[in-house]
Amino acid sequence: MARIILFNKPYGVLSQFTDGQARATLSDYIDVPDVYAAGRLDRDSEGLLILTDDGRLQAKIAHPKHKLPKTYLVQVEGTPSDQALAALRDGVELKDGKTCPAKARIVDGPDWLWPRTPAVRFRKTVPDTWLELIITEGRNRQVRRMTASVGHPTLRLIRTQIGQWGIEGLDSGTYREV
């Protein structure tokens, strides 16, 4: 039976177990042998990271050909227009090609959110908005590049779900085996 671990990765933690530069890694939080991250989550992103000891499952989760939906809460600068949201839904042109269509909608800021260190910058003159964005690809820094391409840079990025797995009930920096 495959081991599956759901980890709520904090901001500033690398999605790997070792690092030659003394940065925070998975080994600072997870003491389970022989599991590996199924996909990546940037150091400056937070939320769900799945680890497993099953190579096939790892490939199914991580490889874009399987089109496993990944759900993100994205705090962006400004207030996206209907046109900006439509562009995200249609797919946006990035340097490495057009993205697959995403599901994108404005949502209320989550009331369950943990504080982040360092805190997201706040500017009185520029509003921010929370989006729910669901993608089926996993290009490098894709969500950040998509929101920037429609004029709304990402301030905070939290992956809340991958396929059937989510971070409900997991505090930042904690994990559970399923």
Domain boundaries, the chain: 4-63+167-177, 69-162
Interval 132-146 mean pLDDT: 93
Q: Specify the range with the lowest mean pLDDT, choosing from 119-128, 133-142, 154-163.
A: 119-128
Class of domain 4-63+167-177: alpha beta
Q: What's the alpha-carbon Rg for the chain, to the nearest Å?
A: 16
pLDDT at position 168 = 94
Confidence of residue 121 (pLDDT cuts 50, 70, 90): confident
Looking at residue 27, the DSSP 8-state letter turns out to be G
The structure tokens 């042109």 sit at 93
DSSP track, 63-129: -GGG---EEEEEEEES---HHHHHHHHH--EETTEEPPP-EEEEEPPPTTPPP-SSPPP--TTS-EE
The predicted structure's pLDDT at residue 155: 96
Provide mean pLDDT across the span 102-110: 96
**What is the Cα–Cα distance from 4 to 36, expressed in whole angstroms?**
10
Contact 72, 133 (CB under 8 A): yes
State how far the Cα of 115 lies from the Cα of 55, in Å rounded to an integer.
Answer: 34
Whole-number mean pLDDT of the chain?
A: 93
Say if 4-63+167-177 and 69-162 have the same CATH topology: yes
Place of tokens 């998975």: 26
CATH architecture of 69-162: 2-Layer Sandwich (3.30)
With contact defined as beta carbons under 8 Å apart, do 107 and 131 qualify?
yes
Token representation of residue 53: 């000891």
At 146, the pLDDT band (50, 70, 90 cuts) reads very high
In percent, the amount of the chain with pLDDT more than 90 equals 81
Residue 52 CB neighbours (<10 A):
19
Q: Are 60 and 66 in contact (CB under 8 A)?
A: yes
Looking at the DSSP assignment, which residues form a beta bridge with residue 75? 130, 156
Active site residues: 42
Residue 88, judged by CB atoms within 10 A of its CB (0-12, 13-18, 19+), counts as buried
pLDDT of residue 118: 84
Is the bond leading into 118 cis (omega within 30 degrees of zero)? Answer: yes
